[in-house]
Structure 1
């Protein structure tokens, strides 16, 4: 059993050696170059790195997402750039095929620095995601079974709480923000989210996956996954659902752009034993 959250303070992740910092910096720089034929589409090599948790690391540690430039003035300009670089049938299915997102979603991700696109054919979408393995009673983990979308469709998930990271955001901060946005509606008492979240020491590790995007068919993806284990006070013991905090509405002067994107309206959660978690 883990110590009660109030006895175990929120810990900070460590920075890595300068050599690894330099190596990963180079990876980000080459993310905008065109991949060579036969090489990996991902600017990172597939790997897994386990890093022990320590306290008092600097805010701008290596695990923070670097700023990304975005040069598309509007969703329309992004669409015009994508069309000749993607299979026409795949691109036409964005926002039409159930469970997919549309070009407004991708433009908003780029605008907020959550996603970068390599200037290649096809483009490669790189996104940093924090995965939060929330532990409950009897050693079970919280898993999102499916989502209800703003267009009325349902998207299957079958994964722990996940949140795209923002520029200069470290995994811990992204994890707490994701918990607040996706689980805050069921945590009673008006408690301050950081006070009821405990990140487990020595639980952080990073992996890199290369796969086509389910949200944007035909768009190759490089997913840098930052995984943490955590406990959260006040969650229901059985299956439950939560309402999503407005994903985009408060971030843009032209709120119409956010309304045209496909957003998550409701999350559905269940508790599963560790052996049932997706690998």
Structure 2
């Protein structure tokens, strides 16, 4: 009698980025698809797939085929589910490869929050689509790619910067053990003074690179990503990146760094 082995693993809370993808690949000896909120697999050969799920959506609502070569995609909507991606401000439908808010409707999504009309109105649009709060885009074949939480997106001169993209570039540097990118308020002088967000990085050094400087980190990133995504907000070295119990970066704690910095400068 032949018995096969199987396993199931999951990754939740936020998108599984390429760094962890490679670590799993090396540890388990096969290629892993990255997804959002859930990544699972089973089978003797280590077959795997990516999916998108959310409590308010009733669980998994998209799935990538095992044989898919779209490694970063969470697949296409399951039967009965409808996805749309809309512009943050205009609420108009986005064309392919244009980031916007991912919205989902289907037979199993929540109809309302129990005895909480205010929360229901904030979660659902007039057509019953759930506002997921995730930034995403779709390609020409309808595959969905989740980027970051909308609240973490950095808005710079009308352009959108996904922290995860910059973080992925930073993690490729051998002197960086961990990092997180957040938006920093920066005033621009001219005929009028106004504020905009610029990317800033918090970096944990690899002990083998004690002399790594902020200038070196900024130079490393320059040229590897679009100019407007470069670290104009600065690079700050910290002993560790604050994370929640489930491993998500607690970005509000990093943003408080500048509040403390301003308060100290007033003393």
Q: Pick the TM interval, shorter chain.
A: under 0.3
TM-score normalized by structure 1?
0.27
The normalised TM-score by structure 2 is 0.27
| Larger of the two Rg values belongs to structure | 2
Which is bigger in relative contact order (C-alpha 8 A, separation at least 6)?
1
